Structure 1
Amino acid sequence: MRPGSGRIWFYRGIIRNDIDERIIMRIAITTPNGNVGRHLVRMLVRAGIRPLLLTRRPQSIAPELLAFVDVAEADSQDAAQVVAATRGVDAIHWVDPSVMSDDPLADYARATDALVAAVTENGIGRVVFQSSIGAEKRHGVGEIDGLAATEVALDALDIDVTHLRCGYFFSNLLFDLESLRAGRIATVLPLDAPMAWVAPRDIAEVAALTLLDQEWTGRRVQAVHGPEDLSWTEVAAILTDELRREIVAVRISDDEMRQGLLTAGMPEAMADAVLGMSTGLREGFVPEQPRTVATTTPTGLRGWVREELVPAMASGR
């Protein structure tokens, strides 16, 4: 096409046309205060993007960010709100929000419907979806079944979509502070079976690079595996070193874990969904995406423990 004819293309987060006008790509971010979102927002700001942050509580956005972002009030399970908030958006990083619920998979379905409505009605051409290892099974993996359903719904649309299949978040250890203070971590998984552990910041980096890279098209799956596979025994040894107290990994029964979740106040369906994420990946599961250079990210568990877990342990929260 000849110069001056108005052809548009993307390059590193900026839409360019052939008369050399620059139009900054509009990127929306959901759960901007989440474990991944809080890093992703700042990465995009540093890259020169002014992201649109979708949140149920606009007042929760850090004051120092407000000069660099736009904020829209939207509940990710409310299709009308999400559609209204994402008009004019070119790309979106979507997270199905995990909430304490009597029917978590129904909540995931509502979030999926809201995303599909926004993409369809607003012509959003690119989605980076924060999924999980195990979503490839499609069924039988507890809460991850909700992520699988979102993948399927996005794959049915005529858009460019990347599913980030993430490993086990380091930040999940923050839910176990009381147990760690008592010197143990409990799991229903085999103690010596290795699995991918990953820092949320590394997931954010992969998400940012994917959002800014306009060379990919179609449906993609990008695994995010962290620097190495770790067993629960190895994790306990690292925690022992870094926390300077003995931490023992203990394998408990499914019933013990479920009862513990119920005692902590989880509704039954939520407890079953959380337990199912472990039991569904326990027997002979092999991730669809093998570990490669492309899936391996740099942040190690030791560094994350020093930066985030040690202060959390000291805070007494």
Structure 2
Amino acid sequence: MKIIITGSLGNIGKPLATNLVAAGHDVTVVSSNTDRKEAIESLGAKAAIGSVSDASFLAKTFAGAQALFAMTPPNLGGTNIIANTLQAGEAFAAAIKKAGVKRVVMLSSIGADLEGGNGPIAGLYKIEKVYEQLENTAVTFLRAGYFYTNLYNDVPMIKGAGIMGGNYPADAKIPFVHPADIATAAIEELEKEATGKNIRYIVSDVRTLGDVAVAIGAAISKTDLPWIEFTDEQSLEGMAQAGLPAEMANLYAEMGTGLRSGIIAEDFLKTNASVDGKTKLEDFAAEFAGKF
């Protein structure tokens, strides 16, 4: 089967491409970075280098493909982020329609059921709505949990202040996911027959932030590591000091308020969706310690 992967060779794209090639599929990986071409080809995949906002390039790349893993880059510039995200999604949709791709697995997120109050996830809500209008294309919205790997952003805080934290409390219940588990779920969806538009949640573990601090603290031999809840203002100030553009910082702070109130995780929790991922919090904590 000819399968297109967007998202280059990141934490999801690399294991996805590696395993699909190993399974005998004809795989093309889309990247905007020419430096990735050799790495992509070394996996046995083809490289398509170009912009994911260029519908003409995408349509040419998608031509003849039976399936597509659609991943819109999470940060398309420092300003107009939601609009830019939607523009890329619309380019994907136009290319899918023109190329006649029959099977699409779109990487989405918990909280993508919400039009607002979810920070950058609002862009994925909008793209889901665009993809819902695709005729004669089966689409699975693969709504992923909060990436474990985002916790690496806390490394400077752990080393500098001996804490972890965010503008959400230690008792907030968070559906987490490991990128490798997303890749596994994406392969399952790409290889199976499907019709219509479907939602699949992919989550590896559901834990509190207090659990996170305990597990990571134990793994890095800091057993007194606490999770500290910051105010929105403190969170914004910290992101500004780290050099994050103001618009992105505000979106992340808004996502934090959504995690704090529970609205981002609400749909996943209330639907009793299964926890399919194999990587539990303690597994990731060991991985975290190896890179700490």
Please report the TM-score for the alignment, with normalisation by the length of structure 1. Answer: 0.85
Aligned to 1:299: 279
Residue 244 in structure 1 maps to residue 221 in structure 2: yes
The 1:281/1:67 distance shift into structure 2, 3 A limit, reads: closer
Describe the superposition over 1:149-182 as per-residue Cα deviations: whole angstroms up to 9, x where unpaired: 1100000111200001111111001222211223
Correspondent of 1:187 among 140, 158, 166: 166
The 1:93/1:67 distance shift into structure 2, 3 A limit, reads: closer
Q: Structure 2 matches for 1:31-42, cutoff 5 A?
A: 31-42=7-18
Give the ranges of 4+ consecutive aligned residues of structure 1 lying more than 3 Å apart after TM superposition.
61-65, 289-295
Q: Which runs of 5+ in 1 are unaligned?
A: 1-24
The CA RMSD over aligned residues, in Å, is 1.8
Amino acid at match of 1:229: V
Work out whether residues 26 and 88 of structure 1, in 8 Å CA contact, stay in contact via their aligned partners in 2. yes
The 1:153/1:64 distance shift into structure 2, 3 A limit, reads: closer
Work out whether residues 78 and 110 of structure 1, in 8 Å CA contact, stay in contact via their aligned partners in 2. no
Work out whether residues 52 and 58 of structure 2, in 8 Å CA contact, stay in contact via their aligned partners in 1. yes
Describe the superposition over 1:251-277 as per-residue Cα deviations: whole angstroms up to 9, x where unpaired: 000011111112222222111112122
Work out whether residues 58 and 71 of structure 1, in 8 Å CA contact, stay in contact via their aligned partners in 2. no
Work out whether residues 79 and 114 of structure 1, in 8 Å CA contact, stay in contact via their aligned partners in 2. yes
Separation in 1, partners of 2:148, 2:172: 17
Separation in 2, partners of 1:64, 1:81: 18
Percent identity over the alignment is: 28
Aligned to 1:86: 62
Aligned to 2:127: 150
Separation in 1, partners of 2:272, 2:38: 36
Aligned to 2:148: 170
Aligned to 1:10: none
The 1:108/1:65 distance shift into structure 2, 3 A limit, reads: same
Residue 48 in structure 1 maps to residue 24 in structure 2: yes
Correspondent of 1:209 among 188, 202, 205: 188
Deviation for aligned residue 1:32: 2.6
Greater CA drift, 264-273 or 298-307:
298-307
SS in structure 2 at match of 1:186 = strand
Report which of the two structures shows the higher radius of gyration computed on alpha carbons.
1
Q: Which runs of 5+ in 2 are unaligned?
A: none
Deviation for aligned residue 1:241: 0.7
- In the comparison of the two structures, how many residue pairs are matched? 286
Work out whether residues 12 and 180 of structure 2, in 8 Å CA contact, stay in contact via their aligned partners in 1. yes
The 1:294/1:47 distance shift into structure 2, 3 A limit, reads: farther
Describe the superposition over 1:108-167 as per-residue Cα deviations: whole angstroms up to 9, x where unpaired: 012112101111111111110110100101222110000001100000111200001111
Please report the TM-score for the alignment, with normalisation by the length of structure 2. Answer: 0.92
